Amino acid sequence: MTRPPSEGLDPPVALQAAQGFLLLQSGNATEAERARWSHWRAAHPMHEVAWQRAERVASQFDLLPRELALTALGRPLRADRRAAFKALAVLLGAAPAGWLAWRMTPAAEWLADHRTATGERLALSLPDGTRLQLNTATAIDVAYDAHQRGVRLRAGEIVIDTAPDAVATGAPGYRPFVVETAHGRLRALGTRFVVRQLDGERSRIAVLHGAVEIRPRDAAARTVVLDAGTQASFDARSVGDVAAAGADADDWARGILHARNMRLQDFAAELARYRPGVLRCDPAVADLRVSGVFQLKDTGPVLDSLPQALPVDVLYRTRYWVTIVAPGA
């Protein structure tokens, strides 16, 4: 298998192109700034390539959210807004994969309080000592004040170790720890648990310690309490069947994908969460079974190992478009 060369730009060039392009698109650039960026474009061939790529992104994706454009005006940026601005540079530098990610990702996720890119994980400590880990392509908002302790999961997956509130449980002013997803509200009862929002259809929770109350968004829906060692999925109307939670539910927090007799189709879908671009599995080999423990830090070696264990080939159209197929297909 031969991997294609990188199709991206140097990060500093992509970052500068994003800054200049957004400034000029904002309509607030001075004549001196316009002249400076015109000179920058002419100073090196790759500068012009980066600028033209920015123009293509704008034309294909109907420009960019105004929240990002405003960051180019030289104003001080909050850390999360600065991260969102840098994400635009990634779109330019990553080429096809970055553009695809932008098209598929709502602006609210790019502008969340905390977010991770594809393949990235992030550990956070909240003001009360609660610990969070964000999985790949995850976005959250944090709500902490005198009346609430909570997290809004906008996309992706988190594992949470809750800390007790300083106020005694049940006392006036006590703030339970709450996680909201698109489908409902989870109230932690002193616990460690994993929550994943599944492509807008439903959310899934696995409780590792303690207990968690699930309250679907529909006020008429039944509330369910999950105890340690159980899991369930839920949508806005109801909670699904409660089942045993696997001991590996939070393995991703240690950078591990644990497969036990997993369909190759499902394995590819899970692995695709940790790499940019498109990873597909041909239906002809979809039902082959995969078992093993795989490192998520670099998915390339994982794909390279598949033909050694299974009757498959891994075809690279580009580094961002990969298909697992039958041999000789």
pLDDT at position 309, please?
Answer: 93
pLDDT at position 59, please?
Answer: 58
Mean pLDDT comparison of 24-28, 64-68, 299-303, highest-scoring range:
299-303
pLDDT at position 75, please?
Answer: 38
> Average pLDDT of 91-117?
57
Q: What is the pLDDT confidence band of residue 308, given thresholds at 50, 70 and 90?
A: very high
> Average pLDDT of 226-233?
96
User: Would you say residue 223 has pLDDT above 60?
Assistant: yes
Domains of the chain, earliest start first: 11-110 (no CATH), 115-244 (2.60.120.1440), 255-325 (3.55.50.30)
Three-state secondary structure call for residue 68: helix
Angle in degrees, CA 92, 94, 98, rounded to 5: 85
Q: What is the torsional sign of CA 66, 72, 78, 84?
A: positive
Cα dihedral 90/93/94/96 (nearest 10): 120
pLDDT at position 131, please?
Answer: 95
DSSP letter string, 28-39: ---HHHHHHHHH
User: Would you say residue 100 has pLDDT above 50?
Assistant: no
C-alpha–C-alpha distance, residues 327 and 185, integer Å: 47
pLDDT at position 4, please?
Answer: 35
What is the bridge-based pairing of β-strands 278-281 and 289-295? unpaired
User: Would you say residue 239 has pLDDT above 90?
Assistant: yes
User: Would you say residue 273 has pLDDT above 90?
Assistant: yes
Tens-place pLDDT, residues 151-207: 999 899 999 999 988 765 666 667 889 999 999 999 998 899 999 998 778 999 999
